[in-house]
Amino acid sequence: MGNLKEVRTRIASVSSTQQITSAMKMVSAAKFRRAQNAILTMRPYSAKLNEIIANIDVEDGVETPYHRTGKTEKVLLVVIASNKGLCGAFNSNVIKEASKRIAYYTEENNAELSLMTIGKRTTDFFTKRTSYVTDSFIDILDKPTFDNISEIAEIVMKRFCEKKYDKVELIYNQFKNSLTQIVSIEQFLPVVTKKDNKTTAPTIKSDYIFEPNKESILKEMIPLSLRSQFYRVLLDSLASEHGARMTAMQKATDNASELLKELRLTYNKARQTAITNEIIEIVSGAEALNG
């Protein structure tokens, strides 16, 4: 009977866990739909903005403080993950990629490295293991509005203009679908010009009339483009997080269902064995009395 009690306890425990994972999956599914709609809506705007800027030829000497060339001696890595776990390899993949970039810049290039972490998981990991973290943002993921995220982008842009950094990279999970998140490294600053970006297909030159002039337009549009890029990356990461958590909770729920089947089968076998033993004892006792 002791074995039956243990199995019943395990069945109750797994059933309770299954209810929790199922509820978490539904919560993540609701958040995922909102995050997915946000990033899919943001991407065309960001792409069109970049297309317009690409058509403003910066190769004829028209540049902004965000266009800078020279030796890369001071690097900032902005590492974006989540505040919570239970989302599969979402956080660990970003941390692994960031660790590789840290080694690349510090060991191979002898660069002066700084880290800006967004999300509790990356903040806790790198704060305990390195001394590179200069800024960390956790609460921003709870209210990912354009204004809130733009404030972080403004901090990075201002420091770049003050030449505290020579290069800024964003490390995050790019959203593809609920099952797939791609760990990406994206250069934020300096701005990549058409001349530098050899992988991009050549843009079609549009017949624009610039008023008042190219330089004034670039000075207005480049900061807007950078803020939009930072916002898009955060939305990408959030959509990836909720998709990864939804998938992880679905798998956990399915695993709980399989485990419950096995436990119930084990319980029924043990119960049947116990009943059979009791019948044998009764029959044996009756035969002994009759004998």
Query: How far apart, in whole angstroms, are the C-alpha atoms of residue 102 and residue 51?
Result: 32
Query: How far apart, in whole angstroms, are the C-alpha atoms of residue 219 and residue 64?
Result: 6
**Of residues 54, 87, 118, 248, which has the active-site annotation?**
87
87 catalytically annotated: yes
Handedness of CA 131, 133, 134, 138 (dihedral sign): negative
Q: Which of 43, 74, 51 is nearest to 236 (CA)?
A: 43
Residues 204 and 50 sit within 8 Å (Cβ to Cβ): no
Pairing of strands 74-80, 167-175: parallel
Q: Which of 245, 250, 264 is nearest to 18 (CA)?
A: 250
Q: What is the DSSP string of 15-80?
A: HHHHHHHHHHHHHHHHHHHHHHHHHHHHHHHHHHHHHHHHTS--TTS---TT---S---EEEEEEE
Token readout for 286 is: 């009756």
Q: Which of 116, 114, 173, 115 is nearest to 140 (CA)?
A: 116
Query: How far apart, in whole angstroms, are the C-alpha atoms of residue 122 and residue 278?
Result: 59
Residues with catalytic roles: 87
